Amino acid sequence: LAIGLVMVFSASAIEAALDDQPAWQPGVLQLTWAALGVVAMLVALRLPVGFLRRWSPIALIGVAVLLVLVLVPGIGIRLNGARQWFDLGFANFQPSELAKLVFALWGAHVIAL
């Protein structure tokens, strides 16, 4: 995580400075999201396995709905030529990233049966 943060900061500081933004801003934003991710990881580690197994099929259906909703004009936004994002106002959300996690959890549930 630390190496990735250093790489993001070093790569994005120049771009931010060229866009007349503070050079540290992308690094601080990435650090904020990394800290939230670590907190989410610690919470996920404390969840009971039964809870994850019980909710994995429901989460799979929910993610499938999100993956279809992103294709609806007006709901999903187009960035870099692809309509695969939701604009949450404070950040963009790509449901395929959540789908990777949910599919892995659901697959583990199915294999463990």
Q: What is the pTM of this model?
A: 0.74
Give the N- to C-terminal CA distance of the chain in Å, as an integer. 34
> In the block, which residue shows the tokens 């790569």?
11
16 pLDDT band, cuts 50/70/90, is confident
Mean pLDDT of the chain: 90
DSSP characters for 42-53? Answer: HHHHHS-HHHHH
Residue 19 has pLDDT above 90, yes or no: no
Q: What is the pLDDT of residue 15?
A: 84
Distance between CA atoms of 4 and 33, rounded to whole angstroms? Answer: 12
Q: Average the pLDDT over 97-103 and give the result.
A: 94
Q: In this prediction, what percent of the chain has a pLDDT beyond 70? A: 100
Beta strands in 14-107 (DSSP E): 76-79, 82-87, 92-93
Q: What is the pLDDT of residue 34?
A: 93
Q: What is the pLDDT of residue 43?
A: 95
Q: Average the pLDDT over 63-69 and give the result.
A: 95
